[in-house]
Amino acid sequence: KQEVTQIPAALSVPEGENLVLNCSFTDSAIYNLQWFRQDPGKGLTSLLLIQSSQREQTSGRLNASLDKSSGRSTLYIAASQPGDSATYLCAVGMDSSYKLIFGSGTRLLVRP
């Protein structure tokens, strides 16, 4: 059974810092991996999707990497801003399934 873990559960950094959020999964036979952002009381916003054949994806200040063999993905945020404060969730899509399996999220606070 696939399990997705995100560590740390919470992170507080000063503005301008580069940071890395971690996501690990137990079964490497994945179809895709998706990173989301969630603001308090709101829905999820898709940030990046990495196909199983890809190693990384970039969008603006965000870069997500995928290492299937080690069961890990990282989300790198460059030059963090207070507006980046949110909960970041990773989710894994398995082969032959439409379902996503979510991690519990990392709550990020960027201090001005």
Partner 1 sequence: DVKVTQSSRYLVKRTGEKVFLECVQDMDHENMFWYRQDPGLGLRLIYFSYDVKMKEKGDIPEGYSVSREKKERFSLILESASTNQTSMYLCASSTTSEWNEQYFGPGTRLTVT
User: Which range binds partner 1 by CB under 8 A, 18-26, 66-74, 76-84, 89-97?
Assistant: 89-97
Binding string, residues 17-36; x marks residues near partner 1 by CB under 8 A? --------------xx-x-x
| DSSP bridge pairs for 90 | 35
Q: Which of 46, 59, 70, 81 binds partner 1 (CB under 8 A)?
A: 46
Those residues whose C-beta lies under 8 Å from the C-beta of residue 98, and which sit 6 or more positions away, are: none
- Angle formed at CA 84 by CA 44 and CA 7, multiple of 5 degrees: 75
Among 13, 19, 49, 62, binds partner 1 (CB under 8 A): 49
Q: How far is the CB of 101 from partner 1 (least distance, A)?
A: 9
Residue 72 CB burial class (10 angstroms; 0-12, 13-18, ≥19): middle
Q: Interface residues with partner 1 (CB under 8 A)? A: 31-32, 34, 36, 41-46, 49, 51, 89, 91, 93, 98-100, 102-105
